[in-house]
Amino acid sequence: MPHNMASISTVKSAGTKSSRGFSSRVRQDRAVNRGNDQNVKNWIRMYRANASCARKIWGALPRSMILNLKEISKRHELAVAAGDLLVLDGRWYITHTGLLRVARRNHCCGIQSALVERYSDPAMGRWVFKATVYKTARSRGFVGYGDADPSNVSSLVRGAEMRVAETRAVNRALRKAYGIGLCSVEELGSLSGAPASSIGSAQPHRFHAPGPSTNGHHPRLRDQLCLLIRQHNLDSSLVKAYAADFCGTQTLKDAGRDLVESFISHLAKAAKEDRDALLCKLNSYAQPVEANP
């Protein structure tokens, strides 16, 4: 009898341990499922915010671009409102800001860049950089190269070819490291070229937001201005007020194309040469806030 009782006690103890282990696994599975559900909710919320913000900035977008945005939101968690993405010529482009955000979120260990003197020619304004991204301390690194010279940069950043080359190298290395197929906007050869306007047009070009079927020139102007604002961390409302004053119109959308182009060039030069002075100028357009009695 004692022997049988001991056996029964052993079986009960083993059954209790097994039950506890099963319950623990169930709780773990439930926690994982709750985490997965929360992740799904997060990226769906981000996609909806991205789609809404994109429509406000660029108007109605083709269904294919909205589907691409959904996949981008799910895979890379990039935010349109934060300046991570841009639309140029009907395609999505990631920005340097967006790539750095991806690196930070994935706990990137480090980024190293170096001038490739063999292929650089300072006298001609040609610069080549090599960048290496280390995802972990033991990573062998992901390498990217970037080049820039006066022939493949926008007129808005003419004279800053060295910095453009380094940024392009870092962008390519980051895209390789984190499997991002989107081209970065900084890698584009130039944003300054625009097709010629129609001959015999009776109305001057305006800076209105284009409709879904627009093939005109304003998306390029708007994108150039948005890019400048994000690159130099400027206040968009103050820039618009400054632009309207510069163009001599009540609002920016009433300005002619030539005036807008002139303002963009002026803004780029001012931001490059003396950003502090530009900020002071922009702050002069801030509306005074009335103090509550």
The H-assigned helical ranges of the chain are 2-58, 63-76, 96-105, 161-177, 218-231, 236-247, 257-273, 275-283
Return the pLDDT at 193.
36
Return the pLDDT at 293.
46
pLDDT in tens, 47-95: 999 999 999 888 889 999 999 999 999 998 999 988 899 998 889 999 9
CA distances from residue 208 to 55, 229, 254 in whole angstroms, order as listed: 14, 18, 8
Return the pLDDT at 195.
32
Return the pLDDT at 8.
52
Collect the ranges in the chain with pLDDT lower than 50: 192-219, 289-293
pTM: 0.57
Please list, in sequence order, all residues whose beta carbon lies within 8 angstroms of the beta carbon of residue 15, skipping any fewer than 6 positions away.
none
Count of residues in the chain: 293
Main-chain phi, psi angles of 88, to 5 degrees? -135, 125
